[in-house]
Structure 1
Amino acid sequence: MEHHERALSAYVEGVRGDADVLAVILVGSVARASEREQSDVDVYLVVTDERFARETDAGRFAWTERHDLDYPGSYIDVKLASPGYLEIASVHGDDPTRSSFAGARVAFSRRDGLAELVTRIATLPDAAWDERVRSHVAQARLYGGYFLVQGAQGNDAFLVRHASVHLTLAAARAALASAHVLMPGPKYISGLMRAVPTPDGFLPAWDRAVSDPGMDSGAELLRRLLDWLGHGMTPDEALSTFIRDNELTWLRGGAPAEFF
């Protein structure tokens, strides 16, 4: 909307004189043209790697500016980035980071090739999607086929609910990955599950496992997931994948699968 564009232009004018500022990247609903009248304006402020190090060493990663200056309730929601940050995000970024750049627009830049780099962040190759499906299926097998069973057999209500939540999350992430859809955050999963293609009966089974966690609903969801995306993964392969993606993330320098 016009008032959002005015707010963005005013913000850019306010920061472009800073020699450490290399770019402003518009993201969020305004970039995707899905904003509401009162939406805020989301941007990444790209600064030099040296400035990024100083700011983040001081614990400054994000902030808001221009409160109520551009339209009623307006503000600029700023996240800090740098060329190094963007390059690493294009290789190792998790889903929320990658999805935050979907539809992004470079509003101001002193650097060539920034738009192409931003596009790379929000894009994954087919092989990466296939590996994500495999990882999330392994998560589902362990949470649904082992931890949920252990919780039910031991009458451990916490473990039953914990395993059920992780099972439904893993099943949802596998479904999204099979459709090459990034996961912006947990609050979007229920909606996204209704937007991606799934086999007949899968979505009702997922809904049941969410609303009525337990052995019966979990077993049904896991069965449907394995029939759809199990791809012949053996129990030992699932266990090794689960350990790699959870217990050994400290060794590999990554994040657990649910945070990909």
Structure 2
Amino acid sequence: MEHQERALAAFVAEQRAAGDATGVIVVGSVARGTEREDSDVDVYLVVPDEHFRRALAENRVAWVEREGADYPGGYVDVKLTCRWYLAEAARHGDDPTRASFEGARVAWSRDPGLGRAIEAVARLDEAEWDRRVASHLAQVRLHGGYFLDQAVASGDDFLRAHATTHLTLAVARLALATERRFLRGPKYVTAAMADLPVPGDVAAAWRDAVATGGPEASARLIAAVEAWTGDVLPAESTLSTFIRDNELAWLRGTLPAEYA
């Protein structure tokens, strides 16, 4: 909207004149064209690598700019980035990081390669997507078919809540990966499940498992997911996949599957 574009233009003008910034990347609802009247403007401010590393060491990587935002409640939500950060994010960034660059546009840059660097962050190859589908299916089986059963048998309410949450998140992550979509964050999961083209029995069982957290609903959800995914992951590979992607993630230099 016009008032957000004015706020963005004011921020860009300030950065072009003031410091060593090399670009401004617009992300979020303003970049996607889904902003509301009162939406803030989300940007990444691109700086030289040494500037970013210094700011990271000093805990100065994000702030809010209100000057130049001339509408009620308006502000520019600023996060720092650099070419090193973008390259690392393209190699092994987590889902929320990658999702934050989907639909991004360069508002201003001294770097002609910045657009290509952004595109690389929001892209995974098919083999990695397939690996994620299998990984999340392993999470479904272990959290819903092992940890939840243990929780019910032992009367452990915390473990029951934990297993149900991780089961339903794993189903959502599996559905997202099947559609080659990133997880933007927990607050978007319910909306994503309503939007994704998952089978009706999976969607209904997922809603029941979220609402009740009971073993019966979870069993129905797992059965529906198994029927949907077919032979994506052989049963005998489930435990090893789960261990590799969770308990051994630190050893492999990766994030646990639910956070990746």
Q: Normalised by the shorter chain, which TM-score bucket?
A: over 0.9
Structure 1 residue 234: deviation in Å? Answer: 3.2
User: What is residue 27 of structure 2 aligned with on the other side?
Assistant: 27
User: What is residue 172 of structure 2 aligned with on the other side?
Assistant: 172
**More deviation in 36-45 or 152-161?**
152-161
**Alignment partner of 1:112 is 2:112:** yes
Q: Is the 8 A contact 2:7 2:68 kept in 1?
A: no
Letter of the 1:234 counterpart: P
Query: Secondary structure of the residue that 2:196 maps to in structure 1?
Result: coil
Residues in 2 aligned to 1:242 and 1:72: alpha-carbon distance in whole angstroms: 48
Matches within 5 A, 1:29-68: 29-67=29-67
User: What is residue 194 of structure 2 aligned with on the other side?
Assistant: 194
Structure 1 residue 19: deviation in Å? Answer: 4.8
Structure 1 residue 192: deviation in Å? Answer: 0.7
Q: Is the 8 A contact 1:27 1:101 kept in 2?
A: yes
Any idea what the Cα deviations from partners look like across 1:95-122, whole Å, max 9, x if unmatched? Answer: 1111111111101111122112211211
**More deviation in 28-37 or 67-76?**
67-76
Structure 1 residue 66: deviation in Å? Answer: 2.1
Q: Is the 8 A contact 2:98 2:121 kept in 1?
A: yes
Unaligned stretches of 5+ in structure 2?
Answer: none
Q: Is the 8 A contact 2:3 2:69 kept in 1?
A: no
Unaligned stretches of 5+ in structure 1?
Answer: none
Distance change in 2, residues 1:216/1:67 (3 Å): farther
User: What is residue 94 of structure 1 aligned with on the other side?
Assistant: 94
Q: Is the 8 A contact 2:38 2:74 kept in 1?
A: yes
User: What is residue 75 of structure 1 aligned with on the other side?
Assistant: 75
**More deviation in 178-187 or 60-69?**
60-69
Q: Is the 8 A contact 1:87 1:117 kept in 2?
A: yes
TM-score by length of 1: 0.96
Identical positions, percent: 53
**More deviation in 65-74 or 20-29?**
65-74
Structure 1 residue 3: deviation in Å? Answer: 1.1
CA RMSD across the alignment: 1.3
Structure 1 residue 15: deviation in Å? Answer: 0.9
User: What is residue 15 of structure 1 aligned with on the other side?
Assistant: 15
Residues in 2 aligned to 1:191 and 1:232: alpha-carbon distance in whole angstroms: 25
Letter of the 2:187 counterpart: K
Structure 1 residue 67: deviation in Å? Answer: 4.9
Residues in 2 aligned to 1:174 and 1:209: alpha-carbon distance in whole angstroms: 16
Matches within 5 A, 1:136-147: 136-147=136-147
User: What is residue 149 of structure 1 aligned with on the other side?
Assistant: 149
Query: Secondary structure of the residue that 1:79 maps to in structure 2?
Result: strand
Runs of 4+ deviating beyond 6 Å: none
Structure 1 residue 18: deviation in Å? Answer: 4.1
Residues in 1 aligned to 2:206 and 2:200: alpha-carbon distance in whole angstroms: 11
Distance change in 2, residues 1:238/1:67 (3 Å): farther
Distance change in 2, residues 1:93/1:232 (3 Å): closer
Structure 1 residue 134: deviation in Å? Answer: 0.6
Query: Secondary structure of the residue that 2:78 maps to in structure 1?
Result: strand
Q: Is the 8 A contact 2:83 2:117 kept in 1?
A: no
User: What is residue 162 of structure 1 aligned with on the other side?
Assistant: 162
